[in-house]
Amino acid sequence: MNKYTGFYIDKPIGNNIFSYEERKNKKIYVPKLIKGNLEDVKVGENIVFNEIDELDEIKAKGLRYMVEYNIDKKDVYIFDNHNHAFYFWMKSLNLEHFTKGCKLIHVDQHKDMREPENYDVDILSIDDIFRYTNNVLNVGNFIKPALEHNIFSEVVIIDSSYGFNLDIEGEFVLDIDLDIFSKDMDYISYDLRIKKIQELIKKAKVITIASSPFFIDQEYAIKVLKELFNYDII
């Protein structure tokens, strides 16, 4: 059963906790999950992330839908706010689409290794995983719970020139934040970033992709996304 039917969060929990008391807008939207392809990844009209930045209230619009599709017999999940990766990791793990305890490769402008409020989630219950992902986790703290519950044995963070030159061996789940293509990361060759991520896509067992509307223009993020998958297995 699809838990992501499209809904609002109007309490100071999950991603709605940031600058909640100072903001005029008090709710954010979590898009519906559909099965589709890259053509279904489009910018929506709803505010999915809201925060005060240098006295300005930033109301970031995200994706119209979260999109799940299968490519080369592997799960690919595309969504806006990055914490949803936790839910999709659990979904694919429960389907035995990757081996528990493999590596996580995290390609992102940010490390996202903050501590969550708690680690209290029943990883055998998809209902509780959904609650935990949306009510407790946020865009900065969703990796440590996966390590705490031994979903992954380690995380390899690619957020620098050094990271883009690493050789990755063994089984892994690939987690991409499209803000790795934000202007702040332009000191790394665009072509190098594209080529390396394409190599990782081909080797990964499961792929989660965040469009991160607070950190990168969404139309540009979608353009890059389509280029990443423009290779010979399509």
Residue 161 has pLDDT above 70, yes or no: yes
Domain residue limits at 84? 67-228
Six token digits for residue 142: 């969703």
Mean pLDDT of 176-181: 98
Mean pLDDT of 68-91: 95
Query: What pLDDT sits at residue 115?
Result: 97
Any domain includes 111: yes
Q: What secondary structure letter does DSSP report for 185?
A: G
Query: What pLDDT sits at residue 54?
Result: 81
Any domain includes 31: no
Where residue 231 falls among pLDDT bands split at 50, 70, 90? low
Separation CA 99–CA 23 (nearest Å): 42
pLDDT tens per residue across span 80-113: 999 999 999 999 999 999 999 999 999 999 999 9
Residue 191 has pLDDT above 50, yes or no: yes
Strand partners, 175: 106, 208
Residue 177 has pLDDT above 60, yes or no: yes
Q: Is the pTM of this model over 0.75?
A: yes
Residue 192 has pLDDT above 50, yes or no: yes
Instruction: Give how many domains the chain has, as a whole number.
Output: 1
DSSP strand pairing (172-177 vs 102-107): parallel
CA proximity to 180, closest of 97, 105, 76: 105
Residue 234 has pLDDT above 70, yes or no: no
Any domain includes 151: yes
Mean pLDDT of 151-167: 96
Any domain includes 178: yes
Any domain includes 42: no
pLDDT tens per residue across span 37-64: 999 999 999 999 999 888 889 999 999 9
Q: Is-contact 60 25, C-beta < 8 A? A: no
Query: What pLDDT sits at residue 214?
Result: 94
What percentage of residues in the chain have a pLDDT greater than 70? 98
Residue 187 has pLDDT above 50, yes or no: yes
Q: What average pLDDT is seen over the chain?
A: 95
Query: What pLDDT sits at residue 233?
Result: 43
Any domain includes 217: yes
Separation CA 150–CA 52 (nearest Å): 35
